[in-house]
Chain A
Amino acid sequence: MTSPSSGSTVIAAVDFSDHGEGIVREGLLLARAAGESLHIIHVAAGEPILAGYDKEDINSFTRSARAGELTDEHRRVRELAETLTDTTGVDVHPLVVMGPASETLLTAIDELHASHIVLGTHGHGGMHHLMFGSVAQELVRRSAVPVLLVPVVKR
């Protein structure tokens, strides 16, 4: 991970499976107001664990499929960052990291010296505790910096 020269940055944690625009928008607002940069971080899922299968055949297939997905995710985050840097005047950095989401984001806050982290919460789903989202819950509990939670409304 590279740190911006200004020494402080806002992290926007995006997940392409839900509505990331609101998360990026809030991150940009914070970064612009404070004159900081923005890191758009996509936490990619790790390798699937295929317990109980004969891994000889499956491994090569999932590895290459996963590699393709990761390349695609990298490209999307990079393109988003480039577009935003050009259009908003905020210095936007793309980052794709693999690992368990909460731990990875907490590490990113430390290593990037982030001032804030922005992430989404799930809308009104079925179970009460799932509305918050386990990653959001963990970040609110453990992040030393303010956490901005963007409601992700199901349409």
Chain B
Amino acid sequence: MGKIVVGVDGSEGSRQALRWAFAEAKLRGGTLEAVTVWQYPITASLPTFGAMNTPDDFSTDAKNTLLAILAEEGITIDAPVHVTTLVAEGNPARALLDAAEKADLLVVGSRGHGGFTGVLVGSISQQCVHHSKCPVVVVRHT
């Protein structure tokens, strides 16, 4: 049984990637792993006088956001595809590549939150294509 890994950052591009990945997993009778990645904000290196969020806070927020997106896209526990979630911290491309190490497909949107609007292919998607050992599907953001 095949495994499809998809990167979700909440952008419309990543939602399109998620929809494609879910449909493909359903067609193939495979599993789907939705991966979201969080990073410490730059301000984490500044003194915050005790108001700093803990890693658990960031991770929980990221997980809740991911679950909300899945629900909005109609991907719930009773969906006809076995769906797992993964919340990782660090470099997004690295995390996606690690998650897809033994996957059949890694799915990314052509463009996420990052970069300028004029950039047609996001840097994370490009890094995934460059370094992935498994096939990568780039879903065009329309």
Q: State the A residues within 8 Å of B (CB).
A: 22, 26, 29-30, 33-34, 116, 118, 121, 128, 131-132, 136-137, 140-141, 143-151, 153
A to B contact number (C-beta, < 8 Å):
55
Residue in A33, A136, A148, A153 whose CB lies within 8 Å of B27: A33
Establish whether residues A146 and B130, one from each chain, have CB atoms under 8 Å apart when the complex forms.
no
Main secondary structure of the interface of B (DSSP, over half): mixed
Which of chain B's residues has its CB closest to A150's CB?
B135
Interface size class of B (residues with CB under 8 A): 20 to 34
A22 to B134, CA, bound (A): 10
Known: A144-B140, A144-B142. A151 touches B28 (CB 8 A): no
B94 contacts A by Cβ under 8 Å: no
Check if B28 sits within 8 Å of A146, measured CB to CB: no
What B residues does A132 contact at CB under 8 A? 126, 129-130
- Tell me whether A22 and B129 are in contact in the complex, defined as CB-CB below 8 angstroms, given that A33-B27, A33-B28, A140-B110 are known contacts: no
* Chain B residue at minimal CB-CB distance from A33: B27
